[in-house]
Structure 1
Amino acid sequence: MNETIQTILNHRSIRKFKSDPLDDETVRLLVEAAQAASTSSYQQAYAIIGVDDAALKRSLMEVASQQSYVAENGYFFVFCIDYHKHAVAAAWQGSNLDATIESTEALIVGTVDASLAAQNLVVAAESLGYGAVYIGSLRNDAKKVSELLALPNQTVPLFGVAIGLPDHSPGKKPRLPMEAVFHRNRYTEDDKLLRFLQEYEEKTAAYYTERTDGQRSEGWVSQIVRTMLEPKRKYLRDFLRDRKFLKD
């Protein structure tokens, strides 16, 4: 096993960072790693907003359910779908891309592009000894985040990534058994899938029981079913349309 794979397999979310800021050279290197990720049809349909202003971090923390590590980290990145630069490029060429940008396919492409770039950045950061955590709760109020970051139309903030030197060493959460994720040639039958889920429920219940000294014993299946009973952030459809997406 090489060092790259070992870095990936050792991933865990870090939620407490030392106060050491990332220097400009490291930030630039991480962004270059992000840009090296694959991109659909060379569109590069994402933007990365780097946030090192303490007051701005605190404002983003307020959006993100008051999670302290949004403000207290070495550096904070916000990954966005970005077709604004494409619209500017098209106007320069005397064209208009609105119909394409407003399509569902464009939304998917931008989301995938941004996610691939972010994962490259995180792996690069972890290879340098930093820790990271993704912040999806920025979508609690994507309009407010857009205002704070002065995002133009045809951009959408998707998630943040906090980076810094770890100040704790959390346990590694067990992932689903490979058989529940990796299907050979066709999707696994439900009876087999259910057995894998039942085994995973027991394993994750034991993990949380040990991690919390018995304060929590809910396994993954129970947790996911409970938290997904009601859809979240239903305002996003209207927000996306306001930002010139999802018109088709």
Structure 2
Amino acid sequence: MAHELPQTVQLMKNHRSIRQFTDQPVDDATFREIIFAAQRAPSSHHVQAYSIVHVTDPDKRATLARVAGGQQYVNEAPVFLVFVADFWKHEHVCIEEDSDFQIDETENVLVGTVDAALAAQNALTAAESFGLGGVMIGGIRNHPRDVRDCLDLPRYTFPVMGLCLGYAAEVPEQKPRLPLEMILHTNTYCEKPFIDGRKNYDEEMAHYYQTRSANQKEISWSKQMSDYFAKVRRPEVTTFLTEQGFALK
């Protein structure tokens, strides 16, 4: 007898990144429910170290699309959100409460990043439950100073990711993930399943890239990853974080 999956689990397993959207707007009631769902994401010590910027201004959209690497769907999506790690509000509270504000630890950067990412994932899952699709925009970190200036982000904040949302105009093929045995460990980390299974996964990914309906290319996952990690990426992020008040001690 086949095991029937809960609707939410099936929804999550069906996820695809949507980059082409119809002109159908997202109504305000649906939008607000998506944001309410984002707020219910877990938060370390109830810090809630994030804010969400809903970007509707066309000029700001154009700026963010450009700094994110020319990603046109940032312009075209009915909804574009920027998830910001936010400790400005906590500095304000500490000033009002006449308390020290110990923000220098790298742990705080991790807390803010995790809080923002969990809220973003909740928002995407909620949107998908309403029949929308979306794609996360990591390119929002390409030029963080430009994003800060565009959105008037205060000290003790930094942009973590963007999120495009809307009704899908096209649903792409689902990209294969690493096999479960290559990412799931019991009690201790075991390298062998990854070493033994990498070639098969490379073949699966190469077939996917060669046969998918758009942007076909000939590359394996290992080659893609080795090319990715051969380059320094976003080297200004550390300096930017320091400028924003995070000493990373």
TM-score tier, shorter chain, comes to: over 0.9
1:141 aligns to what? Answer: 143
Structure 1 letter corresponding to 2:10: Q
CA contact (8 A) 2:172 2:213 kept: no
- Cα distance change, pair 66–116 in 1 and its aligned pair in 2 (3 A): same
- Classify the secondary structure of the residue corresponding to 2:143: helix
- Cα distance change, pair 246–181 in 1 and its aligned pair in 2 (3 A): farther
Q: Identity, % of aligned pairs?
A: 39
- Cα distance change, pair 153–214 in 1 and its aligned pair in 2 (3 A): closer
Measured in 2, the distance between the counterparts of 1:66 and 1:60 equals 9
Structure 1 unaligned runs (5+)? none
Moved beyond 6 Å, runs of 4+ = none
Alignment of 1:21-170 (within 5 A): 21-97=25-101, 100-170=102-172
CA contact (8 A) 2:67 2:140 kept: yes
1:175 CA drift (Å): 0.3
Measured in 1, the distance between the counterparts of 2:136 and 2:17 equals 8
2:22 is the counterpart of 1:18: yes
2:190 aligns to what? Answer: 188
Number of equivalences: 245
- Cα distance change, pair 153–202 in 1 and its aligned pair in 2 (3 A): same
Measured in 2, the distance between the counterparts of 1:28 and 1:215 equals 37
CA contact (8 A) 2:30 2:130 kept: no
1:231 CA drift (Å): 2.0
State which drifts further: 55-64 or 165-174.
55-64
Measured in 2, the distance between the counterparts of 1:38 and 1:246 equals 25
CA contact (8 A) 2:84 2:158 kept: yes
- Classify the secondary structure of the residue corresponding to 1:200: helix
1:217 CA drift (Å): 2.0
- Cα distance change, pair 215–45 in 1 and its aligned pair in 2 (3 A): closer
Structure 2 unaligned runs (5+)? none
CA RMSD of aligned residues (A): 1.4
Deviations 1:135-186 (A, max 9, x none): 0111111001011101000000011000000010100000001111111111
1:209 aligns to what? Answer: 210
1:245 CA drift (Å): 0.8
- Classify the secondary structure of the residue corresponding to 1:101: coil
TM normalised by structure 1 equals 0.95
2:225 aligns to what? Answer: 224
Measured in 2, the distance between the counterparts of 1:213 and 1:123 equals 25
Measured in 2, the distance between the counterparts of 1:246 and 1:23 equals 41
1:173 aligns to what? Answer: 175
Measured in 1, the distance between the counterparts of 2:247 and 2:42 equals 24
